Amino acid sequence: MTRRIVAIGGAGMDEPAHTRFLLSQARGGRVCFLPTAGGDDDEHIKSFYVAFRGCDATHLELFRRTEQDLRGFLLAQDLIYVGGGNTANLLAIWRVHGVEAILREAYAAGTLLCGSSAGCICWFECGITDSFGLGLAPLHDGLGLLAGSACPHYDSEARRRPVYTAAVRDGLAAGIALDDAVAARYEDERLVEILSSRPGARAFRVDASGEHPLEVRALG
């Protein structure tokens, strides 16, 4: 079973081309939203149902949890989309509820894992986040399904680029930087392609020697 992740730099559900692409990669139409990073915000949940209208869509709240069988619920999905917000809180809450282990099982079984912002960082070993206050800082305890680090919002938040490149120079694992509306598709932990719905949007491989531009394919 091919293991698949699509990590999006930001604004993923605001881009219909991304939604169409994600659905084309899923094995079926059962789609679940995890709004944990945003505190199960009602507006985030409403945006998800607008973006994925026409699908067999559902969501899982953990702040107001009603679902008892989390494993059965999540393993029944074809696509799991993780929303933005606080990555550190997301990881802590997932671990308390046992969601991390279930997501690993779903990943191994071929469920497409995806998301933007926090839903981008969480799949990697580490990344740059604003989870710890007003500034940006490294986060070192991601799920580690993908090796290395990630930095979303590379073009839309002015401090992301200098903070990330400096952190990698100082020893943070090398990784990938994604502008908003840019998605990195992985199969079996290997980067397959970079896609974007916005002209001129960029992606970089970032290591201790600096930035290395990656080819970006335009989404129709």
- Catalytic residues, by residue number, are 117, 153
Extract the tokens encoding 127: 């990344």
Round to whole Å and give the CA distance between 157 and 5.
Answer: 24
Q: What 8-state DSSP symbol labels residue 220?
A: -
Inter-residue contact 186 to 8 (CB < 8 Å): no
Nearest to 203 by CA among 178, 181, 220: 178
Round to whole Å and give the CA distance between 202 and 171.
Answer: 24
Dihedral Cα 186, 22, 91, 169, nearest 10 deg = 40
Round to whole Å and give the CA distance between 141 and 157.
Answer: 23
Round to whole Å and give the CA distance between 97 and 158.
Answer: 35
